[in-house]
Amino acid sequence: MYLRTNIGRLRTAGFCFLLVFLFSSCGKQNTVAQSKNENMKDSTTMQDESNPTTKTDEEWKKILPEESYIVTRQKGTERAFTGKYWNSHESGKYYCVCCGAELFTSEEKFDSECGWPSYTAPAVDGNVKEKLDLGYGMVRTEVICSKCGAHLGHVFKDGPKPTGLRYCINSAALDFKKK
Protein backbone atom coordinates (compact mmCIF):
# COMPACT_ATOMS: atom_id res chain seq x y z
CA MET A 1 0.00 0.00 0.00
CA TYR A 2 2.80 2.45 0.96
CA LEU A 3 4.68 1.77 -2.28
CA ARG A 4 1.52 2.11 -4.38
CA THR A 5 0.68 5.48 -2.72
CA ASN A 6 4.18 6.84 -3.30
CA ILE A 7 4.17 5.72 -6.95
CA GLY A 8 0.83 7.49 -7.36
CA ARG A 9 2.30 10.64 -5.84
CA LEU A 10 5.32 10.44 -8.13
CA ARG A 11 3.08 10.06 -11.16
CA THR A 12 1.00 13.06 -10.06
CA ALA A 13 4.12 15.14 -9.38
CA GLY A 14 5.61 14.10 -12.72
CA PHE A 15 2.41 15.02 -14.55
CA CYS A 16 2.29 18.40 -12.80
CA PHE A 17 5.93 19.03 -13.68
CA LEU A 18 5.20 18.14 -17.30
CA LEU A 19 2.26 20.56 -17.41
CA VAL A 20 4.30 23.38 -15.87
CA PHE A 21 7.14 22.71 -18.30
CA LEU A 22 4.81 22.67 -21.31
CA PHE A 23 3.01 25.87 -20.31
CA SER A 24 6.20 27.74 -19.41
CA SER A 25 7.94 26.78 -22.64
CA CYS A 26 4.84 27.15 -24.80
CA GLY A 27 5.34 30.90 -25.18
CA LYS A 28 8.92 30.52 -26.35
CA GLN A 29 8.06 27.71 -28.75
CA ASN A 30 5.16 29.73 -30.08
CA THR A 31 7.41 32.76 -30.50
CA VAL A 32 10.08 30.74 -32.28
CA ALA A 33 7.53 28.99 -34.48
CA GLN A 34 5.89 32.27 -35.31
CA SER A 35 9.19 33.94 -36.20
CA LYS A 36 9.86 31.20 -38.74
CA ASN A 37 6.81 32.40 -40.65
CA GLU A 38 8.41 35.75 -41.47
CA ASN A 39 8.03 35.21 -45.20
CA MET A 40 4.25 35.18 -45.06
CA LYS A 41 3.13 37.95 -47.43
CA ASP A 42 0.21 40.21 -46.52
CA SER A 43 -0.53 38.27 -43.32
CA THR A 44 0.01 41.34 -41.19
CA THR A 45 -1.13 44.00 -43.60
CA MET A 46 -4.30 45.53 -42.20
CA GLN A 47 -6.49 48.13 -43.78
CA ASP A 48 -9.29 49.69 -41.80
CA GLU A 49 -11.85 52.22 -43.01
CA SER A 50 -11.04 54.57 -40.10
CA ASN A 51 -7.29 54.22 -40.67
CA PRO A 52 -6.58 53.88 -44.40
CA THR A 53 -2.85 53.35 -43.97
CA THR A 54 -1.47 49.87 -44.46
CA LYS A 55 1.84 48.47 -43.35
CA THR A 56 3.75 45.52 -44.71
CA ASP A 57 5.66 43.02 -42.57
CA GLU A 58 8.87 44.89 -43.31
CA GLU A 59 7.39 48.20 -42.15
CA TRP A 60 6.09 46.63 -38.91
CA LYS A 61 9.52 45.06 -38.30
CA LYS A 62 11.17 48.48 -38.59
CA ILE A 63 8.89 50.24 -36.11
CA LEU A 64 8.26 47.52 -33.49
CA PRO A 65 10.63 45.81 -31.07
CA GLU A 66 11.13 42.17 -32.10
CA GLU A 67 8.98 40.69 -29.32
CA SER A 68 6.15 43.15 -30.00
CA TYR A 69 6.30 42.31 -33.71
CA ILE A 70 6.12 38.57 -33.06
CA VAL A 71 3.26 38.93 -30.57
CA THR A 72 1.13 41.51 -32.39
CA ARG A 73 1.73 40.73 -36.04
CA GLN A 74 2.37 36.96 -35.91
CA LYS A 75 0.13 36.00 -32.97
CA GLY A 76 3.00 34.98 -30.71
CA THR A 77 2.82 34.79 -26.93
CA GLU A 78 5.31 36.03 -24.38
CA ARG A 79 6.22 33.66 -21.55
CA ALA A 80 4.11 33.85 -18.42
CA PHE A 81 5.45 36.11 -15.63
CA THR A 82 8.01 37.79 -17.95
CA GLY A 83 6.12 40.74 -19.45
CA LYS A 84 6.74 44.22 -18.09
CA TYR A 85 3.09 44.83 -17.07
CA TRP A 86 1.97 41.51 -15.60
CA ASN A 87 2.70 42.67 -12.03
CA SER A 88 2.36 46.44 -12.52
CA HIS A 89 0.07 48.30 -10.11
CA GLU A 90 0.52 51.87 -11.37
CA SER A 91 -2.48 54.00 -12.35
CA GLY A 92 -2.85 54.85 -16.00
CA LYS A 93 -3.95 53.65 -19.41
CA TYR A 94 -2.74 50.89 -21.72
CA TYR A 95 -2.52 51.58 -25.45
CA CYS A 96 -1.88 49.43 -28.52
CA VAL A 97 1.88 49.32 -29.14
CA CYS A 98 1.23 49.32 -32.90
CA CYS A 99 -1.27 52.13 -33.43
CA GLY A 100 -1.80 53.88 -30.09
CA ALA A 101 -5.49 52.99 -29.67
CA GLU A 102 -6.62 53.10 -26.03
CA LEU A 103 -7.29 49.52 -24.96
CA PHE A 104 -7.41 49.08 -21.16
CA THR A 105 -7.13 51.07 -17.92
CA SER A 106 -5.54 50.28 -14.59
CA GLU A 107 -9.01 50.51 -13.00
CA GLU A 108 -10.05 47.36 -14.89
CA LYS A 109 -6.74 45.53 -14.24
CA PHE A 110 -6.71 42.72 -11.68
CA ASP A 111 -4.30 40.02 -10.51
CA SER A 112 -5.49 36.80 -12.08
CA GLU A 113 -2.24 34.99 -11.14
CA CYS A 114 -1.95 33.71 -14.72
CA GLY A 115 1.30 35.54 -15.51
CA TRP A 116 -0.08 38.08 -17.98
CA PRO A 117 -1.80 41.42 -17.41
CA SER A 118 -5.53 40.79 -16.97
CA TYR A 119 -8.46 43.15 -17.31
CA THR A 120 -12.21 42.80 -16.76
CA ALA A 121 -13.18 44.97 -19.75
CA PRO A 122 -11.73 47.15 -22.51
CA ALA A 123 -11.37 50.88 -21.81
CA VAL A 124 -13.36 51.97 -24.85
CA ASP A 125 -16.20 50.00 -26.45
CA GLY A 126 -15.22 48.99 -29.95
CA ASN A 127 -11.44 49.34 -29.58
CA VAL A 128 -10.95 45.59 -29.27
CA LYS A 129 -12.53 42.86 -31.35
CA GLU A 130 -12.98 39.21 -30.53
CA LYS A 131 -12.32 36.39 -32.95
CA LEU A 132 -12.59 32.60 -32.68
CA ASP A 133 -9.12 31.03 -32.33
CA LEU A 134 -8.80 27.30 -33.04
CA GLY A 135 -4.99 27.26 -33.05
CA TYR A 136 -2.81 24.79 -31.19
CA GLY A 137 -5.68 22.33 -30.70
CA MET A 138 -7.63 24.69 -28.43
CA VAL A 139 -10.87 26.63 -28.71
CA ARG A 140 -10.29 30.19 -27.48
CA THR A 141 -11.41 33.73 -28.17
CA GLU A 142 -8.63 35.91 -29.55
CA VAL A 143 -8.58 39.63 -28.74
CA ILE A 144 -7.33 41.99 -31.45
CA CYS A 145 -7.02 45.75 -31.80
CA SER A 146 -9.94 47.05 -33.87
CA LYS A 147 -7.86 49.84 -35.38
CA CYS A 148 -4.79 47.96 -36.67
CA GLY A 149 -5.55 44.25 -36.27
CA ALA A 150 -2.79 43.61 -33.72
CA HIS A 151 -3.04 40.35 -31.77
CA LEU A 152 -3.32 41.29 -28.09
CA GLY A 153 -4.11 38.02 -26.32
CA HIS A 154 -7.27 36.11 -25.42
CA VAL A 155 -10.42 36.60 -23.35
CA PHE A 156 -11.78 33.95 -21.00
CA LYS A 157 -15.05 33.63 -19.08
CA ASP A 158 -13.41 33.09 -15.68
CA GLY A 159 -12.91 36.68 -14.55
CA PRO A 160 -14.32 38.54 -11.54
CA LYS A 161 -17.59 40.43 -11.37
CA PRO A 162 -19.13 42.50 -12.78
CA THR A 163 -18.20 41.20 -16.27
CA GLY A 164 -17.01 37.69 -15.44
CA LEU A 165 -14.37 38.15 -18.15
CA ARG A 166 -10.58 37.95 -18.04
CA TYR A 167 -8.84 39.72 -20.89
CA CYS A 168 -5.42 38.03 -20.75
CA ILE A 169 -3.13 40.37 -22.70
CA ASN A 170 0.54 40.21 -23.69
CA SER A 171 2.62 43.05 -22.24
CA ALA A 172 4.49 43.22 -25.57
CA ALA A 173 1.24 44.36 -27.22
CA LEU A 174 0.80 47.27 -24.81
CA ASP A 175 2.22 50.72 -24.22
CA PHE A 176 1.50 52.16 -20.76
CA LYS A 177 1.03 55.83 -19.91
CA LYS A 178 0.91 56.88 -16.23
CA LYS A 179 -1.96 59.01 -14.99
- Contact present, 155 and 143 (Cβ < 8 Å): yes
60: part of which helix (H) or strand (E)? helix 57-63
Crossing angle, helix 66-74 and helix 2-35, to 10 degrees?
A: 100
- Reference 90, options 105, 103, 80, 75; nearest CA is 105
Distance between CA 78 and CA 88 in Å, rounded?
A: 16
Backbone φ, ψ for residue 175 (5° rounding): -130, 125
Residue 168 is among the residues annotated as catalytic for this protein = yes
Among 98, 99, 148, 168, the one annotated catalytic: 168
Q: Pairing between strand 166-169 and 118-119?
A: antiparallel
Catalytic site positions? 168
